[in-house]
Chain A
Amino acid sequence: MIDLAAVYSREIGGNILTLAASGWTYAFTFVLYDYETESLWYPNITENKLECISGFYEGKSLKVVSSVKRSNWKKWKTSNPDTKWLLTN
């Protein structure tokens, strides 16, 4: 799989989407879908957005709203002393 990390807005037209892995991949990249409409979403790397390629939101996109920094905890904690830790397991 392509090593891709991004933070997308998941608000669209006043609705909040829940994004998840669809189970599909395309060109070694995960295809996401939203629980609400089961639209398919695919990253557009050159335009920094997640594009709806099929379904209710087809033609719409979700913007990248922040970058993701790759680091290790020790370094990250030193430069961001107030950082929070997310329990995602």
Chain B
Amino acid sequence: MQKLNFLLIFILFTSCSLISEEKSADSQIEIIEENDKVFIQDRTGKKWDVTSAIEKYEMKADKFQFGLGTDAIPPVINPRILKDGEAGYPSNSDESLILGVTMSKDARAYSKNQLSRREVVNERFSTKTVAVAY
């Protein structure tokens, strides 16, 4: 009986490692070379031309990795900007981590936590249109 248990556990382990191998193979990207161009293809089948990245920027096609997906991390576009006193403005004693930007005499703070889930904030400081990327 003990031997049988051991065997079963062994089989379970083996099948787990098989599954994880399949997963990592699945997340690998497809590199396609067509008419002197190089494309990397994501999971959805979309092809991205990276010819110039490889030829001019010395990047390697197989070093690109595809994460959660193109629309998985939507950027922030023209966010609401709160002044002191408005609902949602943090209290003075709040010690949460922020990223701060000062431009055109305008100081703005972004929650580090929130920004790491959105990657990019598309906005404007006075006449300057900018992207805050994290």
Residues of A within 8 A of B (CB): 4-11, 16-27, 30-33, 40, 42-43, 50-51, 53-55, 58-59, 62, 65-74, 76-78, 80, 82-89
User: Per a CB cutoff under 8 Å, which of B63, B94, B109 touches A86?
Assistant: B109
B67 near A8 with CB under 8 A, answer no
Say whether chain A's binding surface is mostly helix, strand, loop, or mixed.
Answer: strand
B106 near A84 with CB under 8 A, answer yes
A interface footprint on B83-116 (CB within 8 Å = 1, 0 otherwise): 1100011101111111111110011111110110
B-chain residues with CB within 8 Å of residue A23 when the two chains form the complex: 42, 66-73
The number of A-B residue pairs with CB atoms under 8 Å apart is 212
Q: Distance (Å) between the CB of A88 and the closest chain B CB?
A: 5
Q: Given known contacts A24-B67, A30-B119, is B132 in contact with A65 (CB within 8 Å)? A: no
A interface footprint on B110-133 (CB within 8 Å = 1, 0 otherwise): 111011011111110100111111
Q: Given known contacts A23-B67, A72-B96, is B88 in contact with A5 (CB within 8 Å)? A: no
A67 to B50, CA, bound (A): 29
Q: Does B33 contact A (CB under 8 A)?
A: no
User: Per a CB cutoff under 8 Å, which of B56, B72, B120, B121 touches A32?
Assistant: B120
Residues of B within 8 A of A (CB): 40, 42, 48-53, 56-57, 59, 63-77, 79-84, 88-90, 92-103, 106-112, 114-115, 117-123, 125, 128-134
Q: Given known contacts A26-B64, A53-B59, A82-B84, is B79 in contact with A87 (CB within 8 Å)? A: yes
B103 near A88 with CB under 8 A, answer no
B107 near A82 with CB under 8 A, answer yes
